[in-house]
Amino acid sequence: MTFREQFKEELEEAEKEGVERGLEQGIAKGEELNALKNAENLLKMKLLTPEQISQAVELPLEKILELKGQVLN
C-alpha cells in the first residue's frame, strides 16, 4: 500500500468516526432539549412537584429548579 492510499484510508476512517461522534452528540443534545421542553410544560401546568418532574424527564433537580425560576417569573 502506498503512502497516498494509506493516507486516504486513514482520512476516510477519521471522517467516519467524526460523523458518528457528531451524530451521537446531536442526538444527546436533542434529547436534552426535549427533556427541558417537557419539564417547562410540566412546570407551567403546576400539577407536579419539581422532584416529580425531575424524575419524569430524567433531568437533575437543580436544572428543574433553575428552569422553574425562569418559567414562572
Domain ranges of the chain: 3-71
Output the DSSP codes for the chain. --HHHHHHHHHHHHHHHHHHHHHHHHHHHHHHHHHHHHHHHHHHHT-S-HHHHHHHHT--HHHHHHHHHHH--
**Amino acid at residue number 30:** G
Number of residues in the chain: 73
Tens-digit pLDDT profile for residues 13-65: 999 999 999 999 999 999 999 999 999 999 999 999 999 999 999 999 999 99
Q: What is the pTM of this model?
A: 0.78
Contact 49, 60 (CB under 8 A): no
